Amino acid sequence: MLKRIVSFSIAVLIGILLLASCQVKYNFTGSKPMVLEKTFTVYYFPNRARLINPTLSQSFTEQLREKLQRQTSLNEISENGDIEFEGQITGYEFRPMSIQKEDLAAQTRLTITVKVKYTNNKVPEDSFETSFSAYEDFDSSLPISSVEDELTAEIIDKLNDDIFNASIANW
């Protein structure tokens, strides 16, 4: 009887040790667990597009910073973070869409393209350099000035989601 109790106690102890050594990390923000990375840096994204929106660079850069602050546990530093985002806005254009009779466009598309260099200084094989593009359509009868700010904000959100998913969420 004593042997059974000792054997059972040893089995339970081994089971507890095995369970304690297993780690499962859950993250409800949509990002992968950042084990080695503790800091991030987002450098200013200058606007190099042919058509210039004067607030686009600042808005894009700030919203990317805010997304990383909200959805990761990383700390922001001004230079040389464990992960770094840099690049430039390379496209900002309006194009007619849905051409109707008499060659008039029913809709216009605003497209923004951003070239991003993502550098992971802790896991270099995760680094990449690529362009991201997003757009929104609007009714051509509306003046651009009345919809531009709202459309730009929506497109920036899409771009930042795509950049986040490609880098931090690693999708």
pLDDT, tens digit (0-9, with 9 covering 90-100), for 54-70 = 999 999 999 999 999 99
Residue 8 predicted with pLDDT over 90: no
Q: If one looks up domain 30-167 in CATH, what number appears?
A: 3.30.160.150
Q: pLDDT averaged over the chain?
A: 86
Mean pLDDT of 146-167: 96
Tens-place pLDDT, residues 77-112: 999 999 999 999 999 999 988 777 777 778 999 999
Residue listed under structure tokens 């997304």: 67
Q: What are the residue ranges spanned by the domains of the chain?
A: 30-167
Amino acid identity, position 64 = L
130 to 67, 114, 152, 163: CA distances (angstroms): 19, 8, 21, 10
Torsion region of 78: left, alpha or beta (phi above 0 gives left; psi -120 to 50 gives alpha): alpha
Residue 23 predicted with pLDDT over 50: no
Are 97 and 106 in contact by the 8 Å Cβ rule? The answer is: yes
Q: What is residue 11's predicted lDDT score, i.e. its pLDDT?
A: 60
Q: How far apart are CA 55 and CA 152, in angstroms?
A: 10
